[in-house]
Amino acid sequence: MLFLGRTNVLLRRGIYGIVNAHYDDYSYYPQKAFEMYCQYTDRVEPFSMDECWLDLTDICGAGDIKQTADEIRSRIKNELGLTCSAATTHGRGV
């Protein structure tokens, strides 16, 4: 990981091109995660390339939502090798 402070020092010295972008990966992994989310509900609303909301209201009881979120996080880690965060709420306005 290259921290912002170190990046600024390198840029001031005229050292460019040290961070390679992996656009193929950045589109591949969110798509795979989205496909995984759709296995839980058809109510998946993308918010950005790597963020979305899942409405689990109809498939989970209140106690099961956290368990389902933990299961999704675990699957993403095991199947895609990525970490992710998940939050549960009564609405999107949090």
CATH of the domain at 31: 3.30.70.270
Range of the domain at 49: 23-94
Give the residue from 41, 44, 32, 46 showing the smallest Cα distance to 81. 32
Tell me the whole-structure pTM to 2 decimals: 0.69
pLDDT in tens, 43-92: 899 888 778 888 888 776 656 888 888 999 999 999 999 888 888 777 66
**Which residue among the candidates 35, 51, 71, 79 is catalytic per the annotation?**
51
Q: How much is the pLDDT for 7?
A: 57
Number of folded domains in the chain?
Answer: 1
Let me know if residue 11 belongs to a domain: no
Active site residue 51: yes
Q: Is 21 exposed, middle or buried (0-12, 13-18, 19+ CB in 10 A)?
A: exposed
In a domain, 16, yes or no: no
Which tens digit of pLDDT belongs to each residue from 62-71?
A: 568 888 889 9
Q: Is 85 within the bounds of a domain?
A: yes
Q: How far apart are the first and last CA of the chain?
A: 30
Q: Give the span between the Cα atoms of 34 and 84, in whole angstroms.
A: 13
Residue 7 lies in a domain: no
Q: What is the pLDDT, as a whole number, of residue 50?
A: 79
How crowded is residue 80: how many other Cβ atoms within 10 Å of its Cβ?
A: 15
Residue 48 lies in a domain: yes
